[in-house]
Structure 1
């Protein structure tokens, strides 16, 4: 594996991990805030917080990987 491929792989992995952490954290916080609201909605009661967190993590993974590919594409176009 040459140096450019290693850098691209590192960029994709780091952005994806960041997306997973941020997506999971924000979904968990949203679920917690929903349960602590003064008026709890039926949607809030029917959603499983773990499933909501996993959904946020997967969305973050895709967003992070997409951002890394977009950044790599932009850098490649500038060269």
Structure 2
């Protein structure tokens, strides 16, 4: 349950961060080639998947530490 909750938070934060990066890129005074050719949906999904992995990894790490302290 802990891993699921942390993973969900990671997905939300990763998606939000990548969306903010897209908005910042598009609002820049001089648009770069990379900014113009990137698919916003792909970039958002990429951020969400990185967030998922980060959240799950953090939850697993925290769970292992909690188990170590109980032993």
CA RMSD of aligned residues (A): 0.5
CA distance in 1, matches of 2:39, 2:31: 14
Q: Which has the higher contact order (CA 8 A, sep 6+)?
A: 2
Gaps in structure 2 of 5+ consecutive residues = none
Gaps in structure 1 of 5+ consecutive residues = 1-9
Aligned length: 70
Task: Give the TM-score normalised by structure 1.
Answer: 0.87
Runs in 1 of length 4+ with deviation above 3 angstroms?
A: none
Structure (1 or 2) with the larger CA radius of gyration: 1
Task: Give the TM-score normalised by structure 2.
Answer: 0.96
